[in-house]
């Protein structure tokens, strides 16, 4: 896979009171090429969100005085901040907490302890989803070329016509070739936590994507992993 990306200009605001966590987050995100703005409490986070206009906010749930939930609520009500995607970090895995986080407008959710790889994947996906065109990022997997800026997909040079949902599905798959995505993960990333949808929706759209990519007798690039999900695999 070839990733052509310019991330130098992408700014991530981290709101986290624990020094060790902050260091881990900023170290890894900086290594990926993001610019980091750090806030150690909710008040400062809200202020920096206004002042710095970050492209993404990584927000810890457990913060002194103003909680992450409250910060998220205020961000999503703010005239200048409501469009900034928020990934919430939390040790709480309860379904009700998860729903509460989403209720106040969090765009994604990571439960501690998380792996750095998972965090980075979520951050990348979120930035891509929030503003794919701003990055000029073209992805390539085997003979599939994915150009989010032009909203174009081709296979071996031949244009592939995709609906918007199939396009988003492919954007998830092609971001991490070979990785197996569960239907839940796909629902989260492609349908953005729409709780009314079920696995059949995923299967139907994967089927459509598959059909579109198999045009003109090409091999099937999508692997079905029994009781696990789907992956995009292409031999170079
Ligand atoms: Ca904390």
User: Domain extents for the chain?
Assistant: 11-130, 134-232
Cis omega (within 30 of 0) for bond into 113:
yes
19 C-alpha to ligand 1 centroid (Å): 9
Give the class (CATH, top level) of 11-130. alpha beta
pLDDT digits (tens, 9 = 90+) for 2-41: 343 434 468 999 999 999 999 999 999 998 888 899 999 9
Q: What is the 18 CA–ligand 1 centroid distance (Å)?
A: 5
CATH number assigned to the domain with residue range 134-232, chosen from the 4 options 3.30.70.260, 1.10.10.10, 3.40.605.10, 2.60.120.280: 1.10.10.10
Mean pLDDT of the chain: 85
CA of 65 relative to ligand 1 center, distance in Å = 11
Cα(82)–Cα(123) distance, rounded to whole angstroms? 18
Does the structure show a pLDDT above 80 at 101? no
Q: What is the pTM of this model?
A: 0.55
Q: What spacing in Å lies between the alpha carbon of 78 and ligand 1's midpoint?
A: 23
Cα of 174 from ligand 1 centre, angstroms: 33
For the chain, the maximum distance between any two Cα atoms, rounded to a whole number of angstroms, is 60
Residue 98 has pLDDT above 80, yes or no: no
Positions of E strands within the chain: 2-4, 11-15, 35-39, 56-60, 86-90, 108-111, 138-141, 144-147, 152-155, 158-160, 222-225, 229-232
């Amino acid at each position: 896979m070839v990733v052509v990306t310019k991330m130098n200009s992408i700014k991530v605001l981290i709101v986290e009171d624990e020094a060790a966590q902050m260091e881990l987050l900023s170290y890894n995100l900086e290594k990926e090429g993001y610019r980091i703005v750090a806030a150690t409490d909710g008040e400062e986070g809200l202020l920096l969100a206004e002042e710095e206009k970050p492209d993404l906010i990584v927000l810890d749930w457990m913060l002194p005085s103003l909680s992450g939930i409250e910060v998220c609520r205020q961000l999503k009500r703010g005239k200048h901040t409501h469009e900034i995607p928020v990934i919430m970090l939390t040790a709480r895995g309860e379904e009700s907490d998860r729903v509460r986080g989403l209720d106040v407008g969090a765009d994604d959710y990571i439960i501690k302890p998380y792996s750095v790889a998972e965090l980075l994947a979520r951050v990348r996906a979120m930035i891509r989803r929030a503003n794919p065109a701003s990055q000029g990022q073209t992805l390539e997997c085997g003979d599939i070329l994915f150009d989010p800026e032009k909203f174009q997909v081709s296979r071996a040079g031949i244009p592939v016509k995709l609906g918007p949902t199939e396009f988003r599905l492919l954007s998830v798959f092609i971001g991490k070739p070979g990785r197996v995505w569960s239907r839940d993960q796909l629902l989260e990333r492609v349908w953005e936590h729409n709780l009314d949808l079920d696995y059949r929706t995923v299967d139907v759209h994967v089927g459509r994507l598959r059909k579109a990519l198999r045009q003109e007798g090409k091999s099937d690039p999508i692997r079905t992993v029994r009781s696990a999900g789907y992956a995009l695999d292409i031999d170079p």
